[in-house]
Structure 1
Amino acid sequence: MIGLAQSIPPELKRHIAGFCKPAELANLALVNTSYRDEAEVLLYRKISVWFEPKRLSIWDTLKTHSHKAALVRSLTIKFEPNYYAHTLAAESICTALVNTRGLLELCLHLLEEDVAFQAQIQALLRQRYFNLEIFHCSGYFDLPTIVDSQSNSLQILATCDHWNTLSAFQDIARRYPSLKLFSYEQFDYTTSVFNILNIFPALYPNNTFLWDPISKSYNCHDKRIR
């Protein structure tokens, strides 16, 4: 005999899952195996985490369950102020990222001292484990190389808290005039709010400057960015 949970059409289960918050989706996935797939699609689609060295469970999940990692479309990784990403953090995140082949948006703010971690991320981008449409990063990355490696898909590139990106942006805009570029920074470093937005319409003299894509990207990764 088919139970009530199993008899509900897939499209209705998908509709029900759409009303759930992340914690509720996790519970819904346990109700019945017929709900699990629908719940996991939404649960893993957009992941935003504060990195804590003692809590690596999400990265373990993405490393060991490639089918779940493949569901991730947007990933934001935040670190505590002045936190340096140690070797374990870098290895855990990069190994997990290899499986996120459907990833479209990546937001990753690293410090200047995180040289090895930046190199690992750039290697993943060059090898095209995923094809990003949006990339938010610190300005210490090799931006032209990243854009070259992701040029088939990248639509928006944004940097945070780094004042010396203009020359790189000028070079990128000249070679990729359709790519939207902007940066943001903190006026008050005692808070975690990025409250200054820098846009560069002068880089696109032959194209109409489109505000809407930048506005959506600027707000989609962190509600405190405004």
Structure 2
Amino acid sequence: MKMQYGRMPYRAAPYDTARPAWNVSFFGRAAAERSNTMMIGLTGPSGAGKSTVAALFGAVGFRIIDCDGLVHELDRDALYLEKIRETFGEEYVLDGILNRKKLASLVFSDERELARLNRLIAPFIYRIVIKRIGAAKREGGDTVLDAPLLFEYGLESVCDATVGVVTDRKTALRRLSVRDGKSEEELLARLSAQHDESFFIARCDFIIRNGGSREALCLAFAEVLKSLEKRRNS
């Protein structure tokens, strides 16, 4: 059965903003003592608060592999840049530098172009992620794969469980406006080019609804941790 957290009202407990609202040392110690490590796929649309949830995983001892960061690393990959030039045109790569703003303007206004870009990026990201996962397994400990395009890249296949973070569009727009400082028109175009929450609910093992307070998010996250532990030990 699909597990969703963060929807029910609750009475908020006092919250210390310097740390999550549960015993970090307990979860961190437990993670260090476990031998059967887990690979968790974390995904969700822009503005849902996925990075915040990734930080919560990090606070309790999970290693984080940031796929967005890996995409930026590709900006220095000559083969990747050549593929961009061949696929979208010379004007998108000038003097060996990717014009990210121009490319973003194209793909967020045309679903077909976005699909072309995702297909182009997928094999590059997959190879890098597999190497990072191998290194993580050698070092030991649980790992979170923070990937907005987890399913598009086929990375759910290397995960023991998947967690989706979702919120309503109004909340997402407000968060993105504060974070990115872009116009509402630009942000709506970006959100419209992405999957809505039904996509993630249908595919993820666990769903965190992040539309309320930080305390509510922390409680929902703690419930997901408990469910992941049950899955590990089952």
TM range (shorter): under 0.3
Task: Give the number of the structure whose residues are more often helix, by fraction.
Answer: 2
**Could you say which structure has the greater relative contact order, defined with CA pairs below 8 angstroms and 6 or more residues apart?**
2
TM-score if structure 2 supplies the norm length?
0.27
